[in-house]
Amino acid sequence: MASKAAQKRLSKEYAAMQKEPPPFVWAAPDEKNILNWNFLIRGPPDSPFTGGEYHGVLLFPAEYPFKPPGIKMFTPSGRFSPDKKICFSMSDFHPGSWNPAWSVATILTGLLSFMLSDEMTTGSVTSSEAYKRAFAARSHSWNITQPRFKEAFPEYSSPVMRDLPNMGEKERGKPDVPPPGSSHPPPSLSMSATAPIPAAVRHMPAAAVVPDPEPAAPRKADDPTRAGAPALPAVAWTWTNWRSFIYEKWRLCAFIALAVMLSRFSTRT
């Protein structure tokens, strides 16, 4: 059960997420348990994940915001092992480096930045860009076959993949306006805590269902050909640009948090 501090903080963060969602991410709490959040990440343009849709969960402890959440990604991506906790600086693998000033938006922005990197850790896997593009092309088809995805995000469960509220148009100097005839209603908060987990992944090649659970050498001989990979849109921003932008956002948050902590320490002394 969430503490009063966690309940208040997470309610405030959900309101902030609805008002100003970060680029390429979206999240909402389970209506039965505010400590469990479902999130969606969309692959930024000009990255191996472009066109991909990745579903996962943030598992907050009752002591949040004083302790970090556990993080899992369910959708096969070629970057993380499905349904396995991911180790990075903002997860429960590193409680000593956790900063209470960080929020859901900060965590997901950091996770996206980490996803775009090549750093290996617990929960990550190694695969070629061709594999990542193949997973991205099949990601939405896979998601809409999963009961927990459909329960968490019914408004995103149609055969045609919909954009998230913030697809980074503002960051590229364009108005972030939904395509004609589309809208972005508030996300559903219904997701059963006991939703079944499928034993096999459908709509994917058998050899590419679940990546190796531990880091391995990049696959080359059996990679999908680029001819079969989805074409990348012509955009001005590169993958490096997006990584730099996300890193700068994360660094600004870390700087603000450090300033707050130093201010409190000075007041006590």
Instruction: Give me the pLDDT at residue 239, please.
Output: 58
Of 5, 59, 87, 161, the catalytic one is: 87
Encode pLDDT of 82-112 as tens digits. Answer: 999 999 999 999 999 999 999 999 999 999 9
pLDDT category of residue 249 using cuts at 50, 70 and 90? low
pLDDT category of residue 217 using cuts at 50, 70 and 90? very low
% of the chain surpassing 90 pLDDT: 61
For residue 191, give both structure tokens.
């997701």
87 carries an active-site annotation: yes
The answer on pLDDT for 181 being more than 50 is no
pLDDT category of residue 214 using cuts at 50, 70 and 90? very low
Instruction: Give me the pLDDT at residue 228, please.
Output: 42
Average pLDDT for residues 169-174, to the nearest whole number? Answer: 60
- CATH among 3.10.20.30, 3.10.110.10, 3.40.1030.10, 3.90.79.10 for 4-174+185-194+230-268: 3.10.110.10
Tell me the whole-structure pTM to 2 decimals.
0.68
Encode pLDDT of 106-161 as tens digits. Answer: 999 999 999 999 999 999 999 999 999 999 999 999 999 999 999 999 999 999 99
Per-position DSSP letters for the chain, written without gaps between them: ---HHHHHHHHHHHHHHHHSPPTTEEEEE-SS-TTEEEEEEEBPTTSTTBT-EEEEEEE--TTTTSSPPEEEE-S--SSB-TTSB--STTSTT-GGG--TT--HHHHHHHHHHHHHS----TTB----HHHHHHHHHHHHHHHTT-HHHHHH-GGG-SSSPPPPS--STGGGTS---PPTT---PPPP----TTPPPPSS-SSS-GGGSS--SS--PPP-TTPPPGGGSPPPP--SS-HHHHHHHHHHHHHHHHHHHHHHHHHHHHHH-
Instruction: Give me the pLDDT at residue 61, please.
Output: 97
Instruction: Give me the pLDDT at residue 116, please.
Output: 96
pLDDT category of residue 1 using cuts at 50, 70 and 90? confident
Average pLDDT for residues 57-65, to the nearest whole number? Answer: 97
